[in-house]
Structure formats: structure tokens, C-alpha cells
Amino acid sequence: MTAVGIDAIEIRSGKLKLDLPNTFAPQKGDDPEKYTKGLGLNNSSFPDVYEDIVTMGANAAKSLMDRKGLVPADIGRIDVATESAFDHSKPVSTYIAGCLEQVYDDDFRHANKGERKFACVAGTQAIDDAYNWIKAGRHRGRAALVVATDTALYARGDPGEATQGAGAVAMLISEDPSIVELSTHQGYGSMDETDFLKPNQQFPSVDGKRSMQVYLARMREALEDYQSVAGKVHLDDFAYAPFHTPFPGMVRKAALLAYRHIIRDTEIEDDLAGEIGRQPREDDYEDREAYEAAIREHMDELKTTDAYQSWYADAVEPTLGLSREVGNWYTGSVHVARASALRDAIAKDRDFVGETLLVGSYGSGAQAEIHAETVREGWREEIEGLDIDAQLDARYDLSWEEYEDVHDVHEYDKDVEREIEEFTAPSEEFVFTGWGRMNERKYEYIA
């Protein structure tokens, strides 16, 4: 069977940054550690005044095509995943293709373009679509370009304001991929939920605490569903577990839940029994409330054990490196987590080919998906090609007043009366230049 998976990745961050402990926390009257330790975030990326989901997506896609030496005829699909679209009809992929056509001789007229929507899980769904298209043999030897791009902004004063972010991840999905092969097996946990939504509005209505519970519930169901087809998951089957990361503190909770679930009825649970007892079983309790209280107490003890902490340090913590510096990129977040894991493998000089990742995606509304990925021969060269460290170092550090201005600039319905100067100088990139006669957004490549 032909291997299908991710052949190349490019990451494009918004060019501004908001320092959470030093700029955001003092304005909110909060202890900086609420952000650095509680949520697990140091900075969020923000788009400069000439950046948006199209520029970040097109810039990531162009870097990817240039690095791989691709021309438009090599691409048979362009799928964009976003929850920040500004157009209810024309997909963002057409805007991105239009940008790319400014700089390549050829065009994408024979590529199938679309837009995927299911909150943050849409990036993974777009990869699925590409995978299925290739496996079905409809691709004519071409690859699919998947772009997960978002400006994850919340209304000013919303608790989610601390977890904002902006950036794009472009991925090339192909036969015989260089980075990872995707498993055929997948598990889903999907229910109609009202935890985070944008009914005809730019900024989300969020029940943040509820969304955290829904994330955990759907992720557990997805893991159970995955195991029903792939067989029982063992901790040592996986080198890393990149999960959707709205903020690292969320993954900390998900990891503990996944660990408890995975070790149940295994020798690891037996080994830990002497230290913290066996996991509570529902049948042993009079009612659900008593059982849940026992579970909470057990989890508090479980997270202090050496066994859990060492697994977390090896398999989960390394997936959070970039997220701590960029915040939530919605559809791109799990793909940023995968990239962080692969960068960690380089830093540790791991002999990594053939190893497996357990990837968990989640989108509010709500759906979780779990699948496995197997690392391929060319992974190191591809990941070494990323320039994300240089991008993050070059970000302009916003003052509080500048942050307020930038937030206003990116609020579609807000009339910003004064002209706000850009904070960085565009160079060799696509920029937003204004609106056309049908209210379409317009873009230009700055050489």
C-alpha cells in the first residue's frame, strides 16, 4: 500500500507579539504566573496591520513551494482550514491561490479548492480530505496543499483574550511523504455542543470552562474509538503525543486523562498501586458523584508520580514549545504541536525514523479525532528547514496601547478613525492592500 502523509511543513507567524506576563498581566491586575504557569503561555503572535489569514497562509504556502521546488501544476488541491474567514461564499483558498498566481508563471486553474470548517479540528479534516483523494487515486500524481490559517482574536475583556494568537501552517500532503505517514485508523468523538461558536460574528462566544470539559470528554471518546480499530494503545508505542493546544495548560489536563485511561488494566497501573492505589472503578461507588470525587483525588496523586511525570516530560512537554511562544492558532495548533515535537527530536538528536506519534485534534462544537503518524526517512531535513525561530525573534514587541490599536485594526466592524502605521516593514511577502469594488480583500506581493 502506498504511504500517504505530510511531505513538507511551513509555519508562518504573525509579525507582532504580545508579552503576556510583562504587558498583559499588569494591565489585568493579574499575577504573571497565571499566564506562564497556569495557562502555560509566554507570548502570543499578532498580525501586523497588513497581515491576515490570507497573507499568512499565502506566505507559508509560497515558502513551502519554493523550498520544495514546486510549481502550480504540481498541486491538485488547495484546502484551507480556518475559523477566521471573512467571506461566507468565496473560499479563502481562492484568495491564497490568487496571491500565489502573482508570483508563479503558471496558475492553479486545474486544482480543486475548498474551505473546511469545524473550529480547530478543520486543519486535520483538510488533511483527511487530501489523504482520501490520494488514496482514491484521483490525484493524477499531484500533491495537495493544506493551509491552516487563523487570527484567533477574542473580544476585548473576554477570558479568552489571554489565549489569542495568529499564524498559518502550510502542509503538503502527498504519496511517499518525507515527514510522516498517516495511519488509516482513526477514532472520533463528536457531539453537538455549544461551547464556542461565532454565529455571524467575528469574535467568538465562548464558555471557556465548558469548552475545556468538552475537549476532555470528546478526546476520551476519540481515544476509545481509535482503540476499537487500532487495538489497545500502550505508552511505549508512541514517541510523542501532539494534541490540539489552545493553551498548554489544556494539554496538561488532557495528558493526565489520557495517561490514566491508557494505563488502566496494565502492568503500569499494577506498579503504581503500591504508591497511590488502583484507579477507582465506577461499580465500587454508590453514585456517580462519589465516583467522580474519588477519580479527582486519584488524578491529583497520579500527576505527582515519577512514572507520570517522566512520561509527560518525554512525550508531551516537548510538543508545547512553540505554543508557549505563539498562543492559540486554532486550526494550526495541533500542527504546531507536531512541529514542536519533531524539533525536539532534532534537538535530542533522536534516531527517529519509524517511530510513531499519537496525534489528537479537537474542534469546539465539538469533535475530537485521534490517529497515528509514522516518522519517515526525510523528516529531519524538512524540519531543519523551518525558520520559525528567526520569525519569532524578529517579532515586534507591542506595548499595551499598541496592542489595543492592533486589536481595533483587525476588528472588521470597527471604524478605526486614525490611520495606524504598520509596526514592521514588509519584504518578500504578500500583504493586504485594501478593498476592491465588490468589497473583496486585495493583496499584493512586496518584493
The rounded distance, in Å, linking the Cα atoms of 337 and 15 is 20
Sign of CA dihedral 211, 217, 221, 227: positive
Instruction: Output the residue with the shortest Cβ distance to ligand COA.
Output: 38
Q: What is the total count of residues that contact ligand COA (CB under 6 A)? A: 21
Strands (E), 200-303: 205-206
CB-wise, 120 or 388, nearer to ligand COA? Answer: 120
User: For ligand COA, which stretch binds (CB under 6 A), given 211-219, 283-291, 315-323, 352-360?
Assistant: 211-219
Q: Is 120 a catalytic residue?
A: yes
Q: How far is the CB of 223 from ligand COA (least distance, A)?
A: 17
Please pick, among 10, 83, 193, 382, the residue that the annotation labels catalytic.
83
The rounded distance, in Å, linking the Cα atoms of 346 and 382 is 11
User: Rule CB under 6 A: is residue 159 a binding residue for ligand COA?
Assistant: yes
10 Å Cβ neighbour count for 343?
A: 19
User: For ligand COA, which stretch binds (CB under 6 A), given 186-194, 210-218, 305-313, 404-412?
Assistant: 210-218
User: For ligand COA, which stretch binds (CB under 6 A), given 6-14, 29-37, 216-224, 313-321?
Assistant: 29-37
Q: Which of residues 22, 27, 31, 301 is near ligand COA by CB under 6 A? A: 31
DSSP 152: E
Q: How far is the CB of 44 from ligand COA (least distance, A)?
A: 11
Q: How far is the CB of 380 from ligand COA (least distance, A)?
A: 31
Q: Is 83 a catalytic residue?
A: yes
Cα Dmax for the chain: 72
Q: How far is the CB of 432 from ligand COA (least distance, A)?
A: 26
At residue 442, the 3 state secondary structure works out as: strand
User: Rule CB under 6 A: is residue 255 a binding residue for ligand COA?
Assistant: no
Q: How far is the CB of 245 from ligand COA (least distance, A)?
A: 9
Residues in the chain: 447
User: Rule CB under 6 A: is residue 299 a binding residue for ligand COA?
Assistant: no
Q: Tell how strand 396-397 and strand 16-19 pair up.
A: parallel
Among 346, 376, 4, residue whose Cα is nearest residue 178: 376
User: Rule CB under 6 A: is residue 138 a binding residue for ligand COA?
Assistant: no
Q: How far is CA 90 from CA 87, 99, 167, 269, 440, in A?
A: 6, 14, 21, 52, 9
At residue 280, the 3 state secondary structure works out as: coil
> Please, is 392 exposed, middle or buried when counting C-beta atoms within 10 Å of its C-beta (0-12, 13-18, 19+)?
middle
User: Rule CB under 6 A: is residue 246 a binding residue for ligand COA?
Assistant: yes
Please pick, among 10, 120, 221, 317, the residue that the annotation labels catalytic.
120
Q: Which of residues 364, 365, 410, 431 is near ligand COA by CB under 6 A? A: 364
User: Rule CB under 6 A: is residue 211 a binding residue for ligand COA?
Assistant: yes
Amino acid at site 336: V
Q: How far is the CB of 208 from ligand COA (least distance, A)?
A: 2
DSSP 157: T
HSE at residue 9, side-chain half, CA atoms within 13 A, is 31
Angle 330-300-345 from CA coordinates, rounded to 5°: 50
Q: How far is the CB of 152 from ligand COA (least distance, A)?
A: 9
Q: Is 99 a catalytic residue?
A: no
> Please, is 369 exposed, middle or buried when counting C-beta atoms within 10 Å of its C-beta (0-12, 13-18, 19+)?
buried
10 Å Cβ neighbour count for 423?
A: 18
User: For ligand COA, which stretch binds (CB under 6 A), given 9-17, 167-175, 244-252, 410-418?
Assistant: 244-252
Instruction: Tell the residue number behind the cell numbers 479525532, with chain if given.
Output: 369
Q: How far is the CB of 322 from ligand COA (least distance, A)?
A: 17
User: Rule CB under 6 A: is residue 20 a binding residue for ligand COA?
Assistant: no
Please pick, among 139, 181, 244, 410, the residue that the annotation labels catalytic.
244
User: Rule CB under 6 A: is residue 26 a binding residue for ligand COA?
Assistant: no
CB-wise, 246 or 426, nearer to ligand COA? Answer: 246
User: In whole angstroms, how large is the CA radius of gyration of the chain?
Assistant: 22
Partners of residue 173 on adjacent β-strands: 6, 144
Q: Which residues bind ligand COA (CB under 6 A)?
A: 31, 33-34, 37-39, 159-160, 162-163, 206, 208-209, 211-212, 215, 246-247, 249-250, 364
Residues noted as catalytic: 83, 120, 244
